[in-house]
Amino acid sequence: MTETITILSTSIVRPSSPTPPQHMFLPAPDFCWRWLHYNQRILFFKLDKQSADSFISHLKSSLSLAVVEFFPWAGRCFEQENGRLALDCNDAGVPFIEAYVDVPFPSLENNGFQYQPFFKHLAPHGDVTRWTGPDLPLLSVQVTRFPRDEGFVLGIGHSHIVADGSSLWHFMKSWGECARGVPLSMHPVHMREVFAPEKLILPPPCSEEENDKGGPPPHPPPGGGPGGKIELVQRNFHFTSEMVRKLKNMATTSCPADHAPFSSLQALSAHMWKHVIAAIDMDESEKSIFFLLANMRSRVEPPLPEGYFGNAVMREGSEARKGELQQESLGATALCLQRLIQTMDETLMRTFYGAVEVLPVNKIFEGKEFSMVQLQLSSSPRFLVYDVDFGWGPPLSVQCPRIRGDGEMMWFPGREGGGSIDISLALTKSAMERLEQDESFLSF
């Protein structure tokens, strides 16, 4: 048995009917992601009495239908004469890769699809660290088959410039609806002008000399931990609905102040922050920062449609010293995160992206402390990842095949539902070992 991925073929899937050629405006919430690696997701499906040729043909034809409405995926990004990025909606198409791995699918299923290092090869664009030019596809698909075609993995690699997580899973669910021949439950809304510069809060422009100091930020702006080539270990952790409810109760009863009811995200985030920082080798006086990404669709006026296709997220963090996190209650840490979420409003969003529109990168991040230990929550347990159904039922597991940042975690809903949550986390080997040895991390 080998875990080598063999590429069998690559083709291009284009919209089933031509879409209107256009250059689509990209606002700051989109183009600021140009420095970030491509996102990857993998979905494990079981097949029952269906030939590989049949299901692959089915996926291709339904993808061709889906990208008619979600046409930006089939285009390419380009840099205009003024240096601003735009989308060339030209139907260039989506690469579709067919691959094979000689690993028994039942062995993965019996192990609960626990993360394996070779998973990082199950989705395309793993080597793309940032957008590099107009030849780079914005979405690619990889279907990896297993012996006897007992199952397959659908791997997605996409540019964050085009869409955030809400839009990605909207597209994935819609692709499944196209495959099943049912009407789309929600159509994408293409209206990126809502974040045009005149609708943002713009700071005074910099001098010409300061504007020349552009280039990539000191760290990729929206994600990851401290830079440098650190060997990371990735693990999956499952929190049952009962575990999440217990953490919410613990946070509520231990909170030292009046507060709104704690959400599952706030209570579990506080638990993760406290335990992960305890596992990291750092002085008690050192600060850490916990970053959250908020979906801003319902937080702006007027609210954006749920089907808004693009990026409508805001990233902010809360700081605490290691010693403080160890001494304070779970409720105190959850309250800190709750107050952080309350600050993530329309004014903050339009102010930040106004700075992105006007200022060079060095000015936007001026005064930021990048040596601080960083944790970040990406993805969301609210994404309907198990609503993706191509006719074979929902996926058996949904994961991120490669987490690049030290301290970065990907959250997904648990497959059994009920408020359960799956978390994929990347840490250094020593920190991960200490976390896994922490008996109170998963037993409380």
**Residuewise pLDDT in 10s, the chain (444 residues):** 458 999 999 999 999 999 999 999 999 999 999 999 999 999 999 987 667 778 999 999 999 999 999 999 999 999 999 999 999 999 999 999 999 999 999 999 999 999 999 999 999 999 998 999 999 999 999 999 999 989 999 999 999 999 999 999 999 999 999 999 999 999 999 999 999 999 999 999 887 666 655 566 665 544 344 444 678 999 999 999 999 999 999 999 999 889 999 999 999 999 999 999 999 999 999 999 999 999 999 999 999 999 999 999 999 999 999 999 999 999 999 999 999 999 999 999 999 999 999 998 888 877 676 778 999 999 999 999 999 999 999 999 999 999 999 999 999 999 999 999 999 999 999 999 999 999 999 999
Tokens of 134: 């107009």
What amino acid is encoded at 128 in this protein?
A: V
Residue where a domain stops, chosen among 181, 211, 241: 211
**Would residue 154 count as lying in a domain?**
yes
Give me the residues paired with residue 316 across strands: 292
Q: Say whether both 175 and 296 belong to one domain.
A: no
Asked whether residue 397 is domain-assigned, the answer is: no
Q: Specify the CATH number for the domain of residue 185.
A: 3.30.559.10
How many separate domains does the chain show?
2
Which is it for strands 373-379 and 408-413: parallel, antiparallel or unpaired? Answer: parallel
Pair (106, 139) in one structural domain: yes
Clarify whether residues 334 and 416 are in a common domain: yes
Report the sign of the C-alpha dihedral through residues 166, 201, 374, 264, in that order.
Answer: negative
The residue type found at 124 is: P
Q: Describe the crossing of helices 264-279 and 330-343 by its angle, rounded to 10 degrees.
A: 120
Residues 306-345 as b/e (b if ≥16 CB within 10 A, e otherwise) read: ebbbbbbbbbbebebbbebbeebbbbbbbbbbbebbeebe
DSSP 3-state of 363: helix
Say whether both 14 and 137 belong to one domain.
yes
Based on the domain organization, do 153 and 25 belong to the same domain?
A: yes
Same domain, 353 and 245: yes
Is residue 349, in this structure, part of any structural domain at all? yes
Judge whether 387 lies within some domain. no
User: Which residue segment(s) compose the domain that 200 sits in?
Assistant: 5-211
In a domain, 343, yes or no: yes
Instruction: Assess whether 187 and 317 both reside in one domain.
Output: no
* Residue 350 within any structural domain of the chain: yes
9-33: per-residue pLDDT in tens?
Answer: 999 999 999 999 999 999 999 999 9
The span from the CA of 251 to the CA of 317, in Å, is 20
Residue 217 domain-assigned (yes or no): no
Domain for residue 222, yes or no?
A: no
49 with 180, same domain?
A: yes
Contact 162, 72 (CB under 8 A): yes
Predicted TM-score (pTM) of this structure: 0.94
32 and 84 housed in the same domain: yes
Collapsed DSSP state (helix, strand, coil) of residue 434: helix
Supply the pLDDT for residue 227.
43
Last residue of a domain, one of 176, 211, 246: 211
| In a shared domain, residues 275 and 136 | no
Only one residue has tokens 């304070």, namely 328
Does 22 share its domain with 89?
yes
Q: Is residue 54 located within the same domain as residue 162?
A: yes
Q: Are 344 and 316 in contact (CB under 8 A)?
A: yes
